[in-house]
Chain A
Amino acid sequence: MLAEVLDAAVRLVAIVAVFLVLPLVAGQMEHKVMAHMQGRLGPMYAGGFHGWAQLIADGVKFLQKEDVVPAAADRRVFALAPAVALVPYLVVLAVIPIGPGLVGADLDAGLFFVLAVMGVGVLGSIMAGWSSGNKYSLMGGMRSAAQLMSYELPLVLAASSVAMAAGTLSLPGIVAAWQWWWLPWQAVGGVVFFVAGLAELRRPPFDMPIAESEIIMGPMTEYTGIRFALFMLAEYAGIIVLSALTSVLFLGGWHGPLLPGPVWLLLKVFALVFVVIWVRVSFPRFREDQLQKLAWTGLVPLALLQLLLTGVVRVAAG
């Protein structure tokens, strides 16, 4: 019994450490990679060496800022929204396997659980948009809801293609069943999943709910201090979760030659984080109706084709 509790405690500590550290690494990476792609240096002062402590300094600043709740806001919902946006990404980390046997909890319905819990995160954004009592926030919230209509379905269909290929919904089971030839076999599904995931995270080019050049900061317009910081943390935790899920489902998770499994997963995750940043630097923002059109006439049919391909190959192969 004691051994079991200790084992669970170690897993929990590891998951929380990953949740608190990797989003900061991704954020700092975004600062630096974006800066260099745009011919700038990015943060250079905080912490001395290439501004490594910039985000920690930001965090300390946010912690000391006054907590302003606008008089027109719906106070309770306004206060709760950052938690609804942030906590699901922590919970999802529990089921992402980093090596054979190295997973917080091996759930039978792991893939289903992940999709369900990730879907909760967007509610935080809609809650914030509605409760702020601000026109920009309301528009941002409505755009978030519009985005939900577009990304959720391709995401779910692409993920179920992997479940079909592996014949299980357990994430460690999926990675254990993975073979190298799944890369070309599931490639279309992988791209659909990643693009839909970008839309879920409201990352550029799908950042129209936030769109700082037209609706200030969308749902986050009225937020300041620690609550705003938690929204930002949710965004970067989301990038980590999406990259980790894409790696686990489509890129073979811990599989790889020479290096140990968790290192391979970490490499794949940060390669995808790099792609997320690269896409942000390279593409202009879509309009909301353009995203819906892309999703319903592009991503959904592609995902259905992938399902067909997966099913036929699986049955033909026995």
Chain B
Amino acid sequence: MDGYFGSYALVFALLAIGVAIFGGGLLVNRLLRPHRPTAEKLTTYECGVDPVGEGWAQSQVRYYVFTYLYVVFAVDAVFLFPWATVFAAPGFGAATLVEMFVFLGFIALGILYAWRKRVLAWT
């Protein structure tokens, strides 16, 4: 339980406990529950009428532009975290701060452009 990854041992133990809680719940459920499936019971729910067509219907994803924007910003956030811990340390300071804001400014300009192009609304 030492070294860098030693501190994660407890996290993995907790993950195992979480899986055990889930499995245990299902197991107790299996011991206590009735099991009488009928064709009607296993039909897809559609407000009481028989289901029309398949559940996996085609549909239009109206927010794909947001998805691109999101990916760009999610990557930028990854850069932000390591920078956040050092930017005020001795030897960094104002210049480091300005550099990051030049970077963020470019991306914010991107949002502004998207906004002016009216893609921040569903079509």
- Residue in B89, B108, B122 whose beta carbon sits within 8 Å of that of A301 in the complex: B108
Q: Provided the pairs A70-B42, A315-B93 are in contact, do residues A12 and B17 lie with their beta carbons within 8 angstroms? A: yes
The reply to whether the CB of B117 lies closer than 8 angstroms to some CB of chain A is: no
Count of chain A to chain B residue pairs whose CB atoms are closer than 8 Å in the complex: 210
- Please give, as numbers and ranges, the residues of chain B lying within 8 Å of A36 by CB-CB distance: none
Most chain A CB within 10 A, of B36, B37, B77, B115, is at: B77
B97-A83 in contact (CB<8A): no
Docked CA distance A69–B100 (Å): 51
Interface residues of A, count at CB 8 A: 80
B57: chain A residues at CB < 8 Å are: 135, 138
| A184→B57 CA distance, assembly (Å) | 49
Given contacts A135-B57, A138-B57, contact A216 B33 (CB under 8 A): no
Point out the residue from A134, A150, A152 that lies within 8 Å of B74, measured CB to CB: A152
Q: Is A171 an interface residue (CB 8 A)?
A: no
Q: How extensive is the interface on chain B, given as a class?
A: 35 or more
Interface string of B11-28 (1 = CB under 8 A from A): 101110111011001101
Taken together as a complex, chains A and B put the C-alpha atoms of A315 and B96 apart, in Å, by 10
Which A residues are CB-close (under 8 A) to B25? 63, 226, 229-230
* Given A72-B44, A315-B97, also A105-B70 (CB < 8 A): no
Contact A64-B63, Cβ < 8 Å, known A8-B1, A297-B120: no
Q: Does A97 contact B (CB under 8 A)?
A: no
Q: Which 7 A-B pairs have the closest CB atoms?
A: A133-B55, A87-B18, A226-B29, A71-B42, A163-B84, A164-B84, A289-B122
**Chain B residues near A (Cβ < 8 Å):** 1, 4, 7-11, 13-15, 17-19, 21-22, 25-26, 28-30, 32-37, 39, 41-47, 51, 54-57, 59, 61-63, 66-67, 69-70, 73-74, 77, 80-81, 84-89, 93-94, 97, 100-101, 104, 108, 111, 115, 120-122
